[in-house]
Structure 1
Amino acid sequence: MDFKEYIRVIPDFPQPGISFKDITTLLMNGEAYRKAIEELKTMVGDLKIDVIAGPEARGFVVGAPLAYALGVGFTPIRKSGKLPYETIEADYDLEYGKDKLAMHVDAVKEGQNVLIADDLLATGGTISTSVNLIRKLGGNVVGAAFLIELEDLKGRDKMPGVDVFTLMKYDH
């Protein structure tokens, strides 16, 4: 299946010069959404995964169904102030701004193998921060899976030693 057929590209959003890759059109198509999750499952199927972590918010719509398909747990990575229990936090740079991510202190157990799942790999700020949070909790990041990778932004370079799996690749 050509998953790019289900991605709406919106020029100059959220600011001039950005070519936004909108996954909502893929999510609205049940068959395409299911096949995308199945394809990611196949891509990461040889990894030993104990839990999937997904950054807010679109990492939830990729990570949770992937965790379900693999029969493993899911843990959210949220923006600061959104989790109700004790957290660890880290600042990071976005493609067009700054933010802070948090995880519950018990979200990942020492030695657990964690796959990070998200919709898009761009500059790598969100994902490299996610990798660092998981490692601080004692987790072993076994890979990162994405629907889309913007190759020219070289986000994978910010995650040395982490295998990256993507369904679609675009230039920025």
Structure 2
Amino acid sequence: MSNQPHDAARLVLDHLRWVDGHADVWRLFLDAEALQAVVHELVVPWRRRGITKLCGIESRGFLLGGAAAVALGVGFIAVRKTDGLLPGVKITELAEMDYRGRRHQLRMQRGALHPSDRVLLVDDWAEKGSQALAARRLVERCGADFAGVSVIVNQLAPDVEFRLAPVTHLVRGADLGQG
């Protein structure tokens, strides 16, 4: 495996399938080599940017975020939605409507971050960016520095991408074709 960005992007395009009008990203995770290449490429642009913590939003963000945190050698912060178990004192943020018209309340453990932390958000897909923006607010409310976002698929509008910048990605939504 050469771990070149174009190789990881090709793996994404080869593995992703549309099922009932939705992209089945889970198929990518079935192939250990593809998963390893994708995680590698998600973190490469961030290796020398002083990242001290990585966060991921429930649910695929947990899988990718945990793997990416290990690859970077940093800790992982879970950003949970309303019903998921998250012990201890929490801070919350209500996200704007997502691509399905739902608003999620996102939560993070209050003591998980410190002002000295520089935090990267990793996820599989960014379409409207509503949950990523809410996660950014959570990070900043803890006094930490929000470093940016790394996603497999970027479908963000330019104004939202600017608000989350820098944003790195493996493929753009337009690369995927129709679902």
- Normalising by the smaller structure, the TM-score range is 0.7 to 0.9
For residues 1-172 of structure 1, the aligned pairs below 5 Å read: 1=7, 2=10, 3-12=12-21, 20-81=22-83, 82-92=85-95, 93-96=97-100, 97-151=102-156, 154=157, 157=160, 160=163, 162-171=165-174
Query: 1:167 Cα deviation (Å)?
Result: 0.8
Does the C-alpha gap of structure 1 residues 130 and 159 become closer, same or farther in structure 2, counting only changes over 3 Å? farther
Counting helix residues as a fraction of each chain, which structure ranks higher? 2
Q: Which amino acid aligns with 1:52?
A: L
CA distance in structure 1 between the partners assigned to 2:15 and 2:166 by the alignment: 25
Structure 1 unaligned regions, length at least 5: 13-19
Count of aligned pairs: 163
Query: 1:148 Cα deviation (Å)?
Result: 1.0
Instruction: Name the TM-score, length of structure 1 as normaliser.
Output: 0.88
CA distance in structure 2 between the partners assigned to 1:8 and 1:44 by the alignment: 28
CA deviations on 1:68-124 (whole Å, 9 max, x unpaired) are 011100010001253111101111121111111000001111131000011110100
Structure 2 unaligned regions, length at least 5: 1-6
CA distance in structure 2 between the partners assigned to 1:156 and 1:61 by the alignment: 28
Counting strand residues as a fraction of each chain, which structure ranks higher? 1
Instruction: Name the TM-score, length of structure 2 as normaliser.
Output: 0.85
CA distance in structure 1 between the partners assigned to 2:159 and 2:138 by the alignment: 17
The answer on whether the counterparts of 2:133 and 2:164 sit within 8 Å (CA) in structure 1 is: no
Instruction: Give the match's secondary structure for 2:170.
Output: strand
Does the C-alpha gap of structure 1 residues 156 and 53 become closer, same or farther in structure 2, counting only changes over 3 Å? farther
Instruction: Give the match's secondary structure for 1:39.
Output: helix
Sequence identity (%): 24
